[in-house]
Amino acid sequence: MTTFSEAAHTGTTHAGTAHARYAVFSLVATVVYVLAYNFGWQAFRFYPLLNRVSLDPLPAKESGPAMMYYGWMATALIAGVVAALIVPPKYAAKLPSAVAWVVPLLLVAFTLVYEKHWFL
């Protein structure tokens, strides 16, 4: 498995360490998104009937259904940006490129298992 630091060292890429943060963002944001919908870590709820965003759950009778999707995405976005900013580039560059596709494949598998109740 090739890392960015190895590729930069051999002169085969100019992506190098500076851009390795992008891979960190993708890794953290995708994982946190799945954790967010699994554990209910939405940053906020959106109530389409009221066209209102709320940090706390509102009574369903008056407010209608709550949408968590935007809140899960916001949680993942924040986590990804924070991780990309705080992980030192030299460590980010050591991330094997295989992580960028193995993890999403695992998340796809998890998603299918998580949502199987609709089909049983």
CB 21 within 8 A of CB 88: no
Work out which of 5, 43, 71, 72 binds other proteins, going by CB under 8 A: 72
Work out which of 60, 78, 85, 98 binds other proteins, going by CB under 8 A: 98
CB 1 within 8 A of CB 23: no
* d(C-alpha 102, C-alpha 107), whole Å: 9
* d(C-alpha 80, C-alpha 103), whole Å: 15
Half-sphere exposure of 119 (CA within 13 A, CB side): 5
How many other CB atoms sit within 10 Å of the CB of residue 3? Answer: 19
Least Cβ distance, residue 107 to other proteins (angstroms) = 6
Work out which of 14, 56, 59, 86 binds other proteins, going by CB under 8 A: 14
Which secondary-structure segment (H or E) carries 5? helix 4-9
Rank residues 2 and 88 by Cβ distance to other proteins and give the closer one: 2
The residue count for binding other proteins (CB under 8 A) is 48
Q: Footprint of other proteins on this chain (CB under 8 A)?
A: 2, 6-7, 10, 12-15, 19-20, 22-23, 25-27, 29-30, 33-34, 37, 46, 48-49, 51, 64-65, 67, 69-70, 72-73, 76-77, 80, 97-98, 100-101, 104-105, 107-108, 111-112, 115, 117-119
